[in-house]
Copies of this chain bind each other. A is one copy, B any other.
Amino acid sequence: MTLADYIAAQQKTVDAVLDRWVPPERQNPSTIHRAMRYSLFAGGKRIRPLLAIAAAHAVADDPAGVESAACVLELIHTYSLIHDDLPALDNDDLRRGRPTCHKIFGDAIAILAGDALLTLAFEVLSRLEEIDAERRIQLVRELATAAGTVGGMIGGQVNDLEGEGKAPTAKLLDSIHRAKTGALLRTSVRMGAIYAAAEPEQLAALACFGEHIGLAFQIVDDVLDVEQPSEALGKTAGKDARQKKITFPAVHGIERSREMAEQERLEAHLALRGFDDRAGRLRELADWIVRRNA
């Protein structure tokens, strides 16, 4: 199977699993379920679930049910997008090529839909059937920490907000992105590995892979924000510069940023050197993440 076919198949599986876990639109109160589904099924790339699934397969031959654990990463990612897009935060009208959640449902429902997706992520982890309670609780701890304030996603978001307009230094940039997007991407890989009962040294190597690929992802994201039009990105392009965000191009310039992304890609591959062919898809995903153009 080509990588493109593999990705399409996995995306389809993730969407089907999400559809099973998220209450149907007709379920009372309908508004909130419509809002959750509107943002969730808007054609995201599902990068985080794909990383989790591929990491699990790098460790075990058949990590049955890993798709459910993987889909919680998309619940968390989508909640963070809905809240980030609110007028009080980044105030964005366009996301994944469509009006943002609050433009359609209003700010109140958008806030609650984000809360609901965050809450649902932990419910899904608590209901995973194919792994024991010890591993389920490990996944809860992993996810909560990565999504939290200390070195996690919310912490990075706060640093990002407070960094707007500040002098763009490499140190500040690094601390923002390691937390804001890096933590959840790294945890995606780790959660897949934990699900598949990875040995400690496998988990450490995959965490290192996740660290590098998380950074590579963000560098590429920053570069695309400068280079691509909104239509290609599905979100408002060029906003980072207008909001005086601290980005890789702002600190290092476009050319150097590209080199840095490539360097991270190579480091990511290096982290997987102890793995056999079962890590093949994970290696391919690393290349795909760095070379994507949207």
A119 touches B140 (CB 8 A): no
Which residues of B sit under 8 angstroms from A116, Cβ to Cβ? 148-149, 154
- Taken together as a complex, chains A and B put the C-alpha atoms of A107 and B115 apart, in Å, by 15
Q: Which residue of B lies closest to A107 (CB)?
A: B88
When each residue 23-52 of chain A gets 1 if its CB lies under 8 Å from chain B and 0 otherwise, what string results? 100011101110010000000000000000
Residue A83 at the chain B interface, CB threshold 8 Å: yes
Contact of A29 among B108, B136, B138, B162 (CB under 8 A): B162
Task: Establish whether residues A149 and B33, one from each chain, have CB atoms under 8 Å apart when the complex forms.
Answer: yes
Q: Does A118 interact with chain B (Cβ within 8 Å)?
A: yes
Asked whether B106 lies within 8 Å of A88 as measured between CB atoms, the reply is yes
Identify the closest chain B residue to A145 (Cβ): B123
Are A108 and B136 neighbours in the complex by a CB distance under 8 Å? no
**A239 in contact (CB, < 8 A):** no
User: Complex formed: what's the CA distance from A171 to B144 in Å?
Assistant: 37
**Number of this chain's copies in the complex:** 2
For residue A23, which residues in chain B have a CB less than 8 angstroms away from its CB? 149-150
**A31, B158: Cβ atoms closer than 8 Å:** yes
Q: Is the CB of B29 within 8 A of A149?
A: yes
Write the nearest CB–CB distance from A132 to chain B, whole angstroms: 8
Interface string of A189-205 (1 = CB under 8 A from B): 00000000000000000
Interface flag for A141 (CB, 8 Å):
yes
Could you mark each residue 98-142 of chain A with 1 if its beta carbon is under 8 Å from any beta carbon of chain B, else 0? 000000001111011011101110110111000011101110110
CA distance A31 to B136 in the complex (A): 32
Using Cβ atoms and an 8 Å threshold, which residues of chain B touch A112?
A: 83, 154, 157-158
| Contact (Cβ within 8 A) A125 B140 | yes
C-alpha spacing A287/B114, complex, angstroms: 37
Q: Kindly report which residue of chain B lies nearest to residue A134, judged by CB atoms.
A: B133
Docked Cα-Cα span, A15 to B112, in Å, equals 27
Could you jot down 5 A-B contacts, CB within 8 Å?
A: A27-B150, A36-B149, A88-B106, A112-B158, A115-B118
